[in-house]
Structure 1
Amino acid sequence: MCGAFYVAMGVNLEGVRDVLGIWVGPSGGEGAKQWGTMLSDLKNRGVQDVCTVCCDGLKGLPDSIRAVWPDATVQTYVVHLVRNSLRLSSRKDWGKVTTGLRRIYTAPTITAA
């Protein structure tokens, strides 16, 4: 039986993407402490500064990120935000909910959203 693989990708200021690390995680699931260890590993290998980190809604993960890179902005993936919103609505309303949310997350400004 194999655990999950965890991947950290980076995009530099020129827009070049790179895989920064791949780790085999424990079979019991991921945790913020585990991610904290992996993020510290990245910093120790030379990732000095991070502007924005996009991640899922794992509890404690923003704190683990800020412990390594205090000035990093942490954002939740839009797909996770939408999925979590759908859990709170009836299936028959999913179309209306996703249409409304799309208007918000594609808005050009916070005021427009």
Structure 2
Amino acid sequence: DGLLNQMTKAVLDRVMQAEMTGHLGYESGDPAGRGSGNSRNGKTTKTVSTMNGPVAIEVPRDRNGTFEPTIVPKRA
């Protein structure tokens, strides 16, 4: 759990939050999201392999289950 892995996790988490914002069309906590039909719905833990070893990340979920981050896609 070295510094590089911590930085990788931080970058991935931030990018996935930005992707979620783009997917939903509003920022976290924005009142514009109320009644939108879809909203943030927690996170799922996932481990990704990097050149420096495994990194545990938290992938955000949406209520409709339609969010799929492009930076960390599902396995084929």
TM-score, scaled relative to structure 1? 0.22
